[in-house]
Structure 1
């Protein structure tokens, strides 16, 4: 079952709380919805993580924390998913979302070269912000929804497979018990 795999991979919350540097997490642990591993909380966490990864804002982890608290999704999984968008993957993701946003808003995509100056940010940033946000939100909604349903389907598949395995085990145990008697 996916729950057993996730329990094996994720750290035990009681052990984490015993560490002196993370005592502030005790208030987090009081809300068990944020740490439960079940089909609903994990699939919602995947949606939140993927959706937020496509939104071009600084502090995506803070947004994931807030959304997970609000919706009561599994916080560690949502944070892990949003961390998949890193400095290496962000430029191609944001370029594609900018192109999509430009297409959807009817704005002419500009050929821009990123420079690290405030002047560039205030002149070009103003022109690309709206298409980038719209493209990111649309892409995040689509990819997050796909991720949500993939997790649900995978979870159901694993549960069904485990139940079938149990039925087979019961039948073989029953046959072995009847042949011994």
Structure 2
């Protein structure tokens, strides 16, 4: 069952609640839905995590945690999925989002190189942000919805296949 697989990877809720920096959240972490593993909480967590993965802003993990609190989805899965966009994958993800946004807006793609400087942010980034944001939001919604639908379908398929296996086992046992 997906629940058993996920329980192996997700940290214990009590361990998370004892983390030193999280005492500021107080009773917010007491909501059982934040750590519950059911089809709804996990599929919404996939939406949240994949959505935040494509948002081109710093603090994606904080955004995913806040969305998990508001939508009452599984907190560890929501925050963990954000790591799809890590220092290795961020450049190709956001370049693809920029190209998609430029195509969607029918604007010419600009030649650019990224510099981590204030001058680059002031002069070059304003030319890039509209296509980047457009493509990123489109990908965030698309992949978030696909993740949600995939988990809903996979979870249902897994439960039905387990029912069928039990039914078959009972039939075999009854014919003996």
Report the TM-score when normalising by structure 1: 0.89
In structure 2, relative to structure 1, the CA distance for the partners of 1:38 and 1:20 (3 Å cut) is closer
Q: Does 2:20 correspond to 1:21?
A: yes
Q: Distance in 2 between matches of 1:110 and 1:57?
A: 21
Unpaired segments ≥5 residues, structure 1 = 177-181
Q: Any residues of structure 2 matched to 1:45-64 within 5 Å, and which? A: 45-64=45-64
Q: Any residues of structure 2 matched to 1:1-181 within 5 Å, and which? A: 1-17=1-17, 19=18, 21=20, 24=23, 27-176=27-176
Report the TM-score when normalising by structure 2: 0.91
SS across alignment from 1:87: coil
Larger Rg computed on CA atoms: 1
SS across alignment from 1:83: helix
| Deviations, residues 108-139 of structure 1 (Å, cap 9, x unaligned) | 22100111211011111111111111110001
Shift of the alpha carbon at 1:5? 1.6
- Contact map agreement 1:28 1:34 (CA 8 A) in 2: no
- Contact map agreement 1:3 1:37 (CA 8 A) in 2: yes
Equivalent residue pairs, number: 175
SS across alignment from 1:107: coil
In structure 2, relative to structure 1, the CA distance for the partners of 1:22 and 1:13 (3 Å cut) is farther
Shift of the alpha carbon at 1:66? 1.2
- Contact map agreement 2:11 2:76 (CA 8 A) in 1: no
Q: Distance in 2 between matches of 1:50 and 1:16?
A: 22
